[in-house]
């Protein structure tokens, strides 16, 4: 099930919130949440519910074993076992086809290629359960003895299929004890509606522009840039919109998740961009891969290459994602070793343009799984052997010019700051405007969804 | 206070959303379509995802005021941008003239339907190779000319002409591959300079007789012949002309065909030859202008595998053979008062021997006249090569 569907908005969410708030008992709430989450997950792919359940059980028992044998070899064995099972699941279901295809291609073999349909959200929930066993082994979190609470943590529908990656330690207390205040519900609903608007008003339209721009008869310089600029907005609002909805829903249910995006497109360096983009993933790789490898103390460049190779691979079982990861590794190494903070001394417009060009270049690698198409697009962007514009590209631009402006504005923090300041300017405005705007935005999103086509989130495939 | 109001308002929104799908009625009947049914609750349906998709469609169909909401969402969607330039791109299965249809893009702009050119360098190489083969096979006293005629989209504003591959670049490429002995006739700039005149049909991919006249003038300039003056002939018209491309755009406007009778004095006569697949070739007599046809078949009655036109007033005149597609049908009449014999050979149907034809009629000049699209059709280029090899 996806958040931006009538099934979710008109049926699932009202019913679940109603049942969830029947009682203040946390165990009751957890049971409702687990049942609702399994229904949510099973809605589109009922078979993979089994995998989710097995993953939850495995890490719950691994947790118990780690605690039971704390300080002894058994704990380490349990941790290794947890790593093998979780990463093994990822390797089998997400990467086996890619690995065999690569071997076949490199060695000229014809080994049968496994064909698994990717279980939705596997990359997210395996990382969540991994964070639990690793943090438990390190003594950073306490063992969870309640299977219900652990299953609630793993399966929680707000962030189950597309993140953010919520660390166990961040919500351990709330799994045991939480209340939903009016403030939580109000701010959660505002955040949810904000994410919904991003998805319905910006992403769905931006996605249509990307298809139109890249689907023209001939690629022109204008259509190539339009396609990739709108994709730049599409992927940001798609993922940050989903994260907003997840964070908002979590808060409406009494959980406080950390922000996953902090306006990454205002960054003045690529290093800063990655501090603002998909924060839960970056910090996961930082804490569980980069720092254990030695961080910047030893083999710094190698560590960066490993982390970014894995980051690329995490996004998809395809070489273009690996290339995308290594592209960022290279840029970050250059920024750290050559630029050394020089970007901070350059006027903002210049380093912002530099950062956005690098980011847009990255999304070009990211978008095209076919290397030939990618090459053609880059050539078109640079103006080699193509026309500057044609009827199709000019029509696409003109018919979406205000959408482009809206996307650009919505990616800035000052629009949000202005809205926040305005809504706080007086008690009346605060009490009337903000609730009214939230309700109006929800209704508007619902209107735009009626009669629309199915629009899955881009990050579902990761 | 604010949070309480917001919580209540959002809760009300959810209740309304819930109610909207349960109190609403499908508008399917009013929209002349079948209402989405509640999908059957079975394991097979659930496993395949049909249940969830069907349920979403069911809710979407049942939501209250669905038709009005869709209209509203479309209205809101219009605010995404501003007006777009005129012109519509249409995908159509267009006959290449070789008996094969291919998916092509057409541009409909202000009632004019234009084909979009797509470069095919493999075919272009074959076309150039055929010209080279022909020129190598000809005696020294026979001159070979080539005309590759651009179509009208080439001369539109850049925003439109950029929809296709450049015809100018393709023509230049082909001539960069041909030998010096192939004399290229450059009618491109002349057509471009006259583009504001009625030199292309609006609903057909051919040039008009006026466009062909400008091509004829360019050809004469290259051969050194004196071109006849178009003003010596009365412009005649036939209303209700419907071109080949009009079929792809629904109800296209008709246009007025303009033509000039080059045989006013009755000094030109003609004969055609057909080569049936299952029998001997035979001669027949078609027409120079078929006044019963309000389409491009007006000229010569249609395409002919072999057609010869002779001028009784020029018994000592020269003979020209034109290897051509249908672009020559309204071009050839202009030559008929310059040559004793004007012979048209269509590579798509001609099964004679070019060498024998050259010798039989004592050809002085050969003109290969095609519109540029034929140089992107590999099958046409193969047929053209077969004719050229016959000159050996």
pLDDT in tens, A100-154: 988 888 888 888 888 877 788 888 889 999 999 999 999 999 999 999 999 999 9
- A186 contacts B10? CB cut-off 8 A: yes
Please give the pLDDT value at position B32.
65
pLDDT tens per residue across span A256-294: 999 999 999 999 999 999 999 999 999 999 999 999 999
Q: Compute CA distances B283 → A117, B267, B276, whole Å.
A: 67, 20, 11
The stretches of B162-257 forming alpha helices (DSSP H) are 167-177, 188-193, 209-223
Residue of B nearest to A449 (CA): B73
- B83 contacts A217? CB cut-off 8 A: no
**Among A1, A46, A442, beta carbon nearest to B46:** A46
Q: Write the DSSP assignment of A343-411 as a string of letters.
A: GGGS-HHHHHHHHHHHHHHHHHHHH-SSHHHHHHHHHHHTTSSS-S--HHHHHHHHTTHHHHHHHHHHT
Q: Report how far residue B35's alpha carbon sits from residue B29's, in angstroms, rounded to the nearest whole number.
A: 7
- A448 contacts B52? CB cut-off 8 A: no
- B80 contacts A193? CB cut-off 8 A: no
> Inter-axis angle of helices A427-449 and A182-197, to 10 degrees?
40
d(CA A369, nearest CA chain B) in Å: 26
Q: Is A315 one of the annotated active-site residues of the chain? A: yes
Please give the pLDDT value at position A66.
94
CA-based end-to-end distance of chain A: 16
Contacts of A427 in chain B (CB under 8 A): 1
- A392 contacts B21? CB cut-off 8 A: no
Q: Compute CA distances A258 → A170, A191, A271, whole Å.
A: 8, 13, 20
- B18 contacts A15? CB cut-off 8 A: yes
Beta-sheet pairing, B319-324 with B341-345: parallel
d(CA B177, nearest CA chain A) in Å: 20
Residue of A nearest to B159 (CA): A390
Using a 10 angstrom Cβ sphere, with 0-12 exposed, 13-18 middle and 19 or more buried, the burial of residue A55 is: buried
Please give the pLDDT value at position B21.
80
Say if residues A142 and A169 touch (Cβ distance below 8 Å). Answer: no
d(CA B175, nearest CA chain A) in Å: 20
pLDDT tens per residue across span B298-322: 999 999 999 999 999 999 999 999 9
Please give the pLDDT value at position A286.
93
**Among B53, B73, B163, beta carbon nearest to A217:** B163
- Please, which pLDDT band fits residue B27 given cuts at 50, 70 and 90? low
3-class SS string, B310-364 = EECCCCCCCEEEEEECHHHCCCHHHHCCCCCEEEEECCCCCCCCHHHHHHHHCCC
Q: Which of A188, A217, A394 to mutate to test the interface with B (most CBs of B within 10 A)?
A: A217
Q: Report how far residue B375's alpha carbon sits from residue B172's, in angstroms, rounded to the nearest whole number.
A: 12
Please give the pLDDT value at position B26.
64
pLDDT tens per residue across span B169-223: 999 999 999 999 999 999 999 999 999 999 999 999 999 999 999 999 999 999 9
Contacts of A187 in chain B (CB under 8 A): 3
Please give the pLDDT value at position B29.
64
**Helix-, strand-, coil-residue percentages of chain B, each rounded to 5:** 40, 20, 40
ipTM of predicted complex = 0.84
- B63 contacts A391? CB cut-off 8 A: no
- A9 contacts B59? CB cut-off 8 A: no
Q: Report how far residue A240's alpha carbon sits from residue A163's, in angstroms, rounded to the nearest whole number.
A: 10
| Residues of chain A where predicted confidence (pLDDT) is lower than 50 | none
Q: Report how far residue A412's alpha carbon sits from residue A242's, in angstroms, rounded to the nearest whole number.
A: 18
Contacts of A210 in chain B (CB under 8 A): none
pLDDT tens per residue across span B77-102: 889 999 889 888 888 777 766 677 77
Which run of H or of E encompasses A323? helix A319-334
The residue that leads in pLDDT, A302 or B39, is A302
Say if residues A260 and A243 touch (Cβ distance below 8 Å). Answer: yes
- B81 contacts A403? CB cut-off 8 A: yes
d(CA B215, nearest CA chain A) in Å: 28
pLDDT tens per residue across span B228-269: 999 999 999 999 999 989 888 876 688 999 999 999 999 999
- B85 contacts A454? CB cut-off 8 A: no
Q: How long is chain B?
A: 392
Q: Report how far residue B103's alpha carbon sits from residue B94's, in angstroms, rounded to the nearest whole number.
A: 6
The residue that leads in pLDDT, B73 or B49, is B73
Dihedral of CA atoms B195, B200, B202, B203 in degrees, nearest 10, equals -160
Please give the pLDDT value at position A94.
87
> From the candidates A62, A278, A315, A352, which is the catalytic residue?
A315
Q: Which of B47, B70, B162, B168 to mutate to test the interface with A (most CBs of A within 10 A)?
A: B162
d(CA B15, nearest CA chain A) in Å: 7
Please give the pLDDT value at position A434.
83
Say if residues A331 and A358 touch (Cβ distance below 8 Å). Answer: yes
Contacts of B89 in chain A (CB under 8 A): 217, 391-392
Q: Report how far residue B8's alpha carbon sits from residue B217's, in angstroms, rounded to the nearest whole number.
A: 82
Beta-sheet pairing, B88-95 with B341-345: unpaired
**Among A390, A401, A454, beta carbon nearest to B82:** A401
Q: Which of A251, A451, A460 to mutate to test the interface with B (most CBs of B within 10 A)?
A: A451
């Amino acid at each position: 099930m996806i958040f931006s569907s009538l099934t979710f908005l008109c049926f699932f969410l009202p019913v679940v919130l109603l049942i969830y708030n029947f009682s203040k008992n946390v165990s009751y709430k957890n049971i409702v949440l687990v049942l609702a989450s399994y229904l949510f997950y099973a809605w589109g792919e009922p078979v993979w519910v089994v995998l989710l359940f097995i993953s939850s059980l495995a890490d719950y028992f691994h947790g118990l074993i780690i605690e039971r044998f704390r300080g002894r070899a058994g704990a380490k064995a349990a941790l290794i076992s947890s790593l093998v099972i979780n990463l093994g699941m990822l390797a089998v279901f997400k990467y086996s086809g890619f690995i065999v295809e690569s071997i076949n291609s490199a060695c000229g073999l014809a080994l049968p290629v496994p064909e698994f349909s990717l279980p939705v959200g596997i990359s997210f929930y395996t990382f969540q359960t991994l964070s639990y066993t690793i943090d438990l082994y390190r003594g950073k979190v306490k063992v969870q003895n309640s299977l219900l609470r652990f299953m609630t943590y793993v399966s929680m529908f707000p962030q189950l299929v597309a993140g953010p990656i919520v660390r166990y330690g961040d919500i351990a207390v709330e799994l045991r004890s939480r209340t939903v205040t009016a403030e939580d519900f109000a701010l959660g609903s505002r955040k949810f509606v904000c994410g919904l608007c991003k998805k319905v008003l910006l992403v769905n339209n931006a996605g249509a522009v990307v298809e139109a721009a890249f689907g023209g008869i001939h690629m022109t310089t204008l259509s190539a840039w339009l396609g990739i600029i709108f994709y730049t907005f599409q992927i940001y609002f798609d993922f940050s919109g989903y994260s907003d909805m997840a964070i908002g829903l979590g808060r409406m249910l009494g959980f406080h998740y950390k922000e996953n995006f902090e306006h990454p497109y205002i960054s003045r360096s690529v290093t800063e961009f990655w501090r603002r983009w998909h924060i839960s993933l970056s910090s996961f790789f930082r804490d569980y891969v980069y720092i254990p490898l030695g961080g910047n103390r030893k083999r710094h460049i190698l560590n960066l290459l490993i982390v970014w190779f894995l980051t690329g691979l995490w996004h998809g079982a395809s070489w273009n994602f690996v290339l995308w990861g290594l592209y960022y590794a290279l840029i970050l190494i250059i920024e750290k070793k050559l630029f050394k903070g020089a970007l901070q001394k350059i006027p903002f417009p210049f380093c912002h343009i530099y950062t956005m060009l690098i980011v847009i270049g990255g999304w070009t690698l990211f978008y095209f799984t076919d290397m030939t198409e990618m090459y053609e697009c880059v050539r078109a962007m640079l103006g080699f052997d193509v026309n500057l514009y044609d009827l199709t590209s000019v029509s696409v631009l003109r018919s979406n010019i205000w959408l482009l402006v809206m996307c650009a504005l919505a990616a800035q923090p000052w629009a949000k700051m202005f809205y926040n300041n305005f809504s706080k300017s007086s008690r009346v405005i605060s009490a009337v405007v903000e609730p009214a705007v939230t309700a109006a935005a929800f209704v508007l999103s619902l209107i735009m969804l009626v009669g629309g086509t199915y629009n899955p989130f881009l990050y579902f495939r990761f | 206070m604010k949070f309480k109001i917001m919580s209540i308002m959002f809760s009300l929104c959810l209740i309304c959303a819930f109610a909207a799908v349960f109190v609403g009625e499908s508008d399917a009947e009013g929209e002349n379509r079948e209402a989405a049914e509640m999908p059957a609750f079975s394991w097979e349906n659930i496993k395949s995802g049909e249940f969830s998709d069907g349920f979403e469609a069911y809710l979407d169909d049942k939501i209250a005021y669905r038709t009005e909401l869709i209209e509203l969402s479309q209205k809101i969607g219009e605010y995404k941008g501003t007006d777009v330039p005129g012109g519509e791109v249409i995908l159509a299965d267009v006959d290449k003239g070789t008996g094969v249809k291919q998916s092509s893009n057409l541009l409909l702009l202000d009632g004019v339907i234009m084909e979009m050119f797509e470069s095919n360098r493999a075919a272009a190489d074959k076309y150039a190779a055929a010209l080279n083969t022909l020129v190598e096979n000809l005696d020294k006293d026979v001159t070979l000319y080539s005309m590759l005629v651009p179509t009208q989209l080439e001369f539109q504003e850049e925003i439109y002409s950029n929809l296709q591959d450049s015809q100018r670049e393709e023509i230049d490429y082909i001539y960069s591959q041909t030998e010096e002995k192939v004399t290229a006739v450059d009618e491109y700039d002349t057509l471009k300079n006259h583009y504001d005149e009625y030199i292309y049909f609006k609903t057909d991919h051919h040039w008009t007789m006026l466009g062909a006249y400008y091509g004829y003038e360019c050809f004469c300039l290259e051969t050194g012949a004196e071109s006849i003056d178009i003003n010596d002939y009365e412009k005649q018209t036939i209303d209700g002309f419907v071109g080949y491309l009009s079929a792809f755009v629904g109800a296209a406007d008709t246009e007025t065909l303009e033509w000039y009778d080059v045989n006013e004095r009755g000094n030109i006569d003609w004969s055609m030859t057909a080569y049936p697949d299952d029998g001997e070739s035979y001669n027949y007599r078609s027409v120079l202008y078929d006044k019963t046809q309000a389409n491009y078949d007006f000229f010569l009655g249609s395409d002919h595998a072999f057609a010869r036109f002779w001028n009784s007033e020029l018994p000592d005149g020269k003979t020209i053979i034109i290897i051509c597609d249908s672009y020559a049908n309204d071009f050839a009449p202009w030559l008929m008062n310059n040559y004793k014999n004007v012979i048209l050979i269509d590579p798509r149907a001609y099964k004679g021997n070019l060498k024998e034809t050259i010798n039989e009629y004592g050809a002085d000049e050969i003109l290969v006249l095609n519109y540029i699209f034929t140089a992107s059709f590999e099958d046409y280029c193969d047929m053209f090569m077969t004719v050229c090899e016959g000159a050996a």
